[in-house]
Structure 1
């Protein structure tokens, strides 16, 4: 049997290696109950070494240049991301062109758009492009190339930015690493920030998809201020005070909620 200190070191090693880890996976790795894992996590949180998220644990928000891998992020807050994606998909009408940035929530959106006919998708995200290809929609997808691949499998760099100068889309669905009133939208990669800015400049409307865990996170590079966001879609896990603050700074705030009839949303 491992001592608590030994288990906690294993947890730290896993979080450092992957950026984010689920409680159930840690329990399976260490052969202990979820309750034991949560006690260990509580001690690590008190020391400021990790941060709790729904169903798992991540590196602290102060790690402004760290970005967990795509697989690790995909496993966290899946229901919130799915609800946000469904709300975003309702904004898309047949015959429109949409831009989709990299990220796990935007990837969830891609799956929701597979049944929307006659749309053209412009993306720098490999997983988003794959989702449309696997759904038989590759003829309507434009994949932007770039000089660097991020941990989220987004292609970023000068080639992507140059390509975007000749492209105009009706609506951009933009993911983000962090958001705050003063910092706006931020990400941990300088070239990704520049690429996202080019996506914004090429779009008539900007729709940001950000679950509640992004609130208060400030990464290395500024993307855009909140005043440039036409619609921000988040989930009900975001505290009420944060919802009110965001509603004062973005064009339209949509908070997804589940009810007995299924998915619904409120606009603030």
Structure 2
């Protein structure tokens, strides 16, 4: 939108508000590209709009004023955010999975991307409380004729918990909790609403917080898959500290100081770079900071 460089300040702020409301949240970097103005200009606009009570500033961006710690965006709204970062994270995370493993995937758009990467890993047993994740494996099995020639890997065995469906298409509540509590898996891949040193892992949904706690207790290894925009965000309910996480897989948007802060609390930090991934083809470049 190159014409935006000539917008009056009021017009520019109106566009910012429209974008924030339409998408349920937006990053400063995205607004600078969309409007063709500097980072400082966008931040000044956000400061003014926040003082006017038109939106709420969060780490690296803004959300609608009504969408605070209790707001849970829908699956489609979240799918449009940071797609290249999520793709890179998913490919890096898939490299942590061994054939024949029992793997759990929580709800979320990043775990949804990971599910597609796991389709070629043979012999998996997948436990998930995500309707979307289960559909990935179901659709792949249908296309391959239940393993009758559509692909080289044997289709995964999928265990979908019951429960009450959230806006992000995760199943939560007592039914899900009971099912998860009776199972044990080698590795859990966990999507999160927010992550920080102070609040740990958090979600705006109280029932989902309890279901995530059950997932963590049933896992031998806990891997959080979260793009850089989740860092510094805090939902209503914390369900785990960073000390309970073995590995964080994130993208190169996590800055140097933030990486050092994370690395000080985790056994392993994996950085996947979307730009390098595009140049490298099938092999996602990753950097491990242990």
TM-score, structure 2 as length reference:
0.78
Distance 1:220 1:164 in 2: 23
Per the alignment, residue 263 of structure 1 pairs with: 284
Distance 1:168 1:37 in 2: 51
Query: After the TM superposition, which residues 240-259 of structure 1 pair with which residues of structure 2 at under 5 Å, given as runs?
Result: 240-257=256-273, 258-259=275-276
Per the alignment, residue 73 of structure 2 pairs with: 68
Is 1:162 aligned to 2:178, yes or no?
yes
Query: After the TM superposition, which residues 186-265 of structure 1 pair with which residues of structure 2 at under 5 Å, given as runs?
Result: 186-257=202-273, 258-259=275-276, 260-261=279-280, 262-265=283-286
Number of residue equivalences: 257
Shift of residue 34, structure 1, vs aligned partner? 4.2
Q: Note closer, same or farther for the CA distance 1:237–1:121 as it changes in structure 2 (3 Å cut).
A: same
Assess if the C-alpha contact under 8 Å between 1:70 and 1:103 holds in 2.
yes
Q: Note closer, same or farther for the CA distance 1:38–1:162 as it changes in structure 2 (3 Å cut).
A: farther
SS at match of 1:114: helix
Is 1:45 aligned to 2:46, yes or no?
yes
Distance 2:66 2:221 in 1: 29
Question: Is the radius of gyration larger for structure 1 or structure 2?
Answer: 2
Q: Note closer, same or farther for the CA distance 1:62–1:22 as it changes in structure 2 (3 Å cut).
A: closer
Distance 2:253 2:156 in 1: 37
Q: Note closer, same or farther for the CA distance 1:256–1:36 as it changes in structure 2 (3 Å cut).
A: closer
Is 1:143 aligned to 2:164, yes or no?
no
Q: Note closer, same or farther for the CA distance 1:42–1:225 as it changes in structure 2 (3 Å cut).
A: closer
Deviations 1:100-152 (A, max 9, x none): 000110100001001111101100001101111111177611111113x2121
Distance 2:122 2:247 in 1: 23
User: Considering only aligned residues, what root-mean-square deviation do their CA atoms show, in Å?
Assistant: 3.1
Shift of residue 235, structure 1, vs aligned partner? 0.8
Using the TM superposition, name which of 62-71 and 245-254 deviates more: 62-71
Shift of residue 35, structure 1, vs aligned partner? 2.9
Consecutive unaligned residues in structure 2, runs of 5 or more: 1-6, 147-154
SS at match of 1:113: helix
Consecutive unaligned residues in structure 1, runs of 5 or more: 27-32
Assess if the C-alpha contact under 8 Å between 1:231 and 1:252 holds in 2.
yes
Query: After the TM superposition, which residues 22-171 of structure 1 pair with which residues of structure 2 at under 5 Å, given as runs?
Result: 34-35=34-35, 45-46=46-47, 47-48=49-50, 49=55, 58-59=63-64, 63-136=68-141, 140-147=157-164, 149-171=165-187
Distance 2:166 2:38 in 1: 31
**Aligned partner (choices 179, 184, 208) of residue 200 of structure 2:** 184
Distance 1:61 1:173 in 2: 30
